[in-house]
Structure 1
Amino acid sequence: MSFITRITLFILCLAAVASHIPSSASASFINSPSYQMNSREEKKVYRIAGEKHLPPFSYVNKSGKFTGFSVELFRSISEEEGVEFQFYPMNFYEAEQALKAGKVDAVMGMKYSAEQSERFQFSESYFTMADVLVVPKEATEDIKNLTDLREKTIVMQEEPAAFDLLLNVRRVEFQLALNPRDAFHFLLMKRADAFLTNKWTAEFYLKQSGEQANYQVLEHIGIPSDFAVAVRPGETKLLSLINDSLAKMQTNGDYQLLYSQWFGLYPDGRLKEMRNWIIVLTILIGCAVAVLIFTYLWNKRLQKEVAKRTTALAEANDQLEIQQRAISEAHAFKTQIIHHMYYGILTFDDSLKLTSINERAKMMLGLKDRKQVEIEDVIRQPHIADIVRHYEDFEDNRDKQIFSEEVELELNRERRFILCRLIPLYEENGKKNGCLLTLADRSEAKMLEEKLANQEKMRALGQLVAGVAHEIRNPLTSMKTFVDLLPKKYEDPAFRQELVKYVPEALKRMNTIVESLLDYARPRHPQKQRIRVAAFINSVTAIIEPTLKKNHIHLELDIDEKLDIICDPDQLKQVMLNLLLNALDAMEEEPQKHLTIKAEPQGKAGAIQVMDSGIGMDKESVSHIFEPFYTTKPHGVGLGLALCYQWVKENNGDMRVETEKEKGTTFTVTLPVA
């Protein structure tokens, strides 16, 4: 027989069993009586006693009402049978004595035992339960069954059934209480190690006292006992009435309803629930069989697909190995490139711990012979340590990308000039997670720069000498000519008039050239102070305002009123006047004459721009405008812009020019802000 056939037969058997389980509703309908007695000739009064501290079976509630499952059960019997029950709440031992003396007719909720059956007659059981133990939670490891009660003290209500149970346990001590409530209080007062009672009463008192978290209920300790009604011997009429009523209530469902109100789901309801669960389980097993069949068929198909995919995976694995080898070779290649680069490279993590260093960096820092380099070895040079500490100045964004500084180090008794560049490294979210430090040895470049600077000085000196010679030669030639003709034409009045006219002009020009040359060669030390740019520009423009009006030049000012700079005001005034006069000369022949002076902050510097709409300059002229004795004016000396450039540099500033032929010129002077 195949596996699938066995599963099918099992499902059919479960379905057959489920179909034969009767529900409580159907049993109630089949066993319900065809009629009920509608009236009684007269009501018989019976006195019923019950334990007043046995919740939830019989107890006096907070309102003083005697209630509980047993009480409500007998009230239902009295209504059904047309009799009257008078209830007397008392302790069990009092009820037993009252029953013996004939003061009551019956005691409800008494446990059946062989000893008690000799004294009283018992009805059919209307509730079955087993005793439980209530112990402190810290004692649950020591007490798990009856044998663990040796040498322990048990508090309980006096009951023959409970005594019979505990007499089998040797060396156990008893403490008797009048009722379950008092017994529970003895447990709370630590006068006993355990409390023996039924499950429902134990849970009631634990919940009422709020001690559920401190005590544990141990079930399956005692033997199940029957709750029944005890009457005096010979009281067969009352006993028959109770038994018949209990049977009717079991049949018509009243008992189940009352049971559910006090204890929850009735066992018959559990049976119905189990039947429903069997049906659900049958459906689930059927679905599982269907899934198994589908899985079997699908597995066959998957085997072919797996074989195909396995082949493809093997091919992909071969390709992956090839790629891994290529990546490894590429990594080794990149490592060789990094170690043999001209620049030194060091990387640090966010805590400035050295993570990598190439061979060039080791050589530049004098660490060539060390295999293991630590951060302490790198920052032993104070300049390098200061640069690395700038990492803390970088913020968690990409705005500030680099810090650069050239430092002078002494390695192996040799001075080296190293250009250091500190670059922050960022994660994808913009948070910095380390930095990169590059080292460039500029010692040879520095030496070449010094050689080129000397050559440039010599070239400039030669150009300066040539310019001076050229500028002085012309007036000297004129003076020599007059001196040579002086003996022959001294008596000629026209000659003397020409001599007086041209010789002083030549001497004046020579004196101007010499004074400008002295200013260029021996500039005075600038007297720097704080200057409010707006007021300074207004004072300068006031000097040339008449000239502007005479030449019909439109002046526009765009000055930041709060901009302050640091410089020598006299030198800056000479620079501004020179630039303005040059702008006037450039616009002399232009139809539209616009002169603009603009001043605004640019980072840590202040920028002053002089913009004109003049003829502009070509690229050739721009490359020479700051050289001495270079001029494009017919009567210029060529030292004005050279002196201006030198003065701006002496004030820690810079000057640049932007121009285009026939489109005007813009000179920009930048000086430190205050």
Structure 2
Amino acid sequence: MSVLFKSIFIVLSLLWAAFSWPYAALAEEADNLSDEAKKPMAEKVYQVAVDEHLPPFSYINEAGELTGFSVELFRRIAEAQQIEVAFHPMNLYEAERALEEGTVDAVIGMKYSVERSERFRFSESYFTTTDVMVIPSEAANEINSLAGLRGKTIVMQEDPVSFELLLNVRRVEFQLALNAKDSFQFLLMDRADAWLTNKRTAEFYLDQSGERENYRILEHISVPSDFAVAVRQGERDLLQLVNESLADMQTNGDYQRLYTQWFGLHPDSQLREMRNWIIFLSIVIGCAAVILIVIYLWNKRLKKEVAKRTSALAEANVKLEQQQKALSQADAFKTQIIHHLYYGILTFNKELQVTSLNERAKELLGFGRDELLEPADILGTPLIAKIVREYTEHVESNQQPAILSEEIEIEVNEETRYILYRAIPLQEGKEEESGFLITLADRSEAKMLEKKLATQEKMRALGQLVAGVAHEIRNPLTSMKTFIDLLPYKYEDVRFREELIKHVPEALRRMNKIVESLLDYARPKFPKKKMLGAGRFIQSVVAIIEPTMKKQQVRLSLDIEQDDPIVCDPDQLKQVLLNLLLNALDAMEEAEEKKLTISTERKDDITFVHVTDSGMGMDKEDISHIFEPFYTTKPHGVGLGLTLCYQWIKENDGDMQIESMKGKGTTFTIALPAKWEEENE
């Protein structure tokens, strides 16, 4: 037995020497670090701003010296890069302004945010902390979550990163301070119910003031934030020096030693020490088990297993509670977002039963927002019944996952609404479907606006047509007026009567033709498809706008085949062609050469109509948006003309394309069926 104890003692001695040697070397290396010779500094002195009230990262100690983890870190960076720096203690707000104005070259200890990244350039993060909530101990039962902050006053240093923690808290009041020290004083003077700051600074001020027992730090109400070095946008050299030094310090261990000096062991060092201690304790327990196995063989082993299992179960229980809380918060957050969306959302399972819906869906279906509904009530609405029926038929007729989208008109509470719905499948895995989802969008106001703008666009086109028609009518009217004025004096003249009979009826027929064409254009349109001859139809449209072309001195070139067939609604096609011709005239208003070409061609069962002008043309950006509603390149245009033309051509089973080059002109191509389908009967 004595030999066994001696062996154990020798093993423990060797282990203690092995584990204590790295830490002794680490301490010796830290002592030698301060004795290293300083490298010569560069001639330029970098001006660095630092928050003087942010302990333990940067603050002025009792001796009046600027110190802190961030300050010492930057000093080591300056020594490593052989640069000279001058620190300027100030508030963070003043530091940001000084960096923008160029008074300082860098600010250390600034939190990264998207808004700040647009103004400054940030180094790699050198410290990760969390912003926590500090409350009085007597308020711990009242304020234990974000919801408990409603109606409370929170004091904090102005920081866009910290504001994100409180975005979803209603009726919360903010009191902003210039620095963490002032905000802590507001909390001590009961001018605020809670204090939001980083955990390390909160612990420092609480310990320094002796108020640690009177206040609680809520670590579960927190948001992570990274400290970095911020420089001006053009300061690339300094930013590169900082990033290189941070990487070198992480590699050679300087960062870990500095971290240990200010905060204790670094997390990585803690893990290594914990691992070593676990190994050490395992060996001790093993040796003890060997010694005690003779006496407590089975009993000791059983107790050890029970203790290990109990500890594992306790840890698992704590982790499970944390995960459940996180899932509950995430679910509440998602539910809040879904219920406040503009679109209505409904989900169904495989058995076509409603599994969820948001408040907007209730409103679009004619129910109250807070009304409790049964699945049968929802499936009983005409809209949902129609969508479910059509989606089921659509799925049965498609092998792939089916997506159905359509805009329909319905009556909801004696009010006409236009609803755009979209039904898509829901999948649990890669191939297995678990149901489908329906989204509803109310397009009633958009429809009403489109109709109003369509009327305005049509009236504008009519105004241009009337101006041209008026000019054309004036010529026969002048001729008729001349004959009428001479009628009392030359009625007996046979030759005069012959000329009267010849010219006056012709002038009347010409005016009647112009008026009929104008009325035909202004008459309401109905989608009735007919078989048309392309040549004769295009000539009839050109006759309406020909007076305007003559007035603007536009040269017209027609290359059309009279017998090329077109199947479409003649009224809609006439309005499309008139709109394209008017747009062409507007585009050629300032062109040196004004030439308008209309041509047709037939390929298989499609007839193409090309309208080409020599106007100012368009660039690629305009072409990509030209068919979008409300997009126009004209100073006084509505931006709906080409949208309506494109829609009408689509309704007639056709297509419209555009080719244009800036300064070279534009070509619109209309493709329409040339064959009469059975569905048109």
TM-score tier by shorter-chain length is 0.3 to 0.5
Larger RCO (CA under 8 A, 6+ residues apart):
1
TM-score, length-scaled by structure 2: 0.37
The structure with the largest alpha-carbon Rg is 1
TM-score, length-scaled by structure 1: 0.38
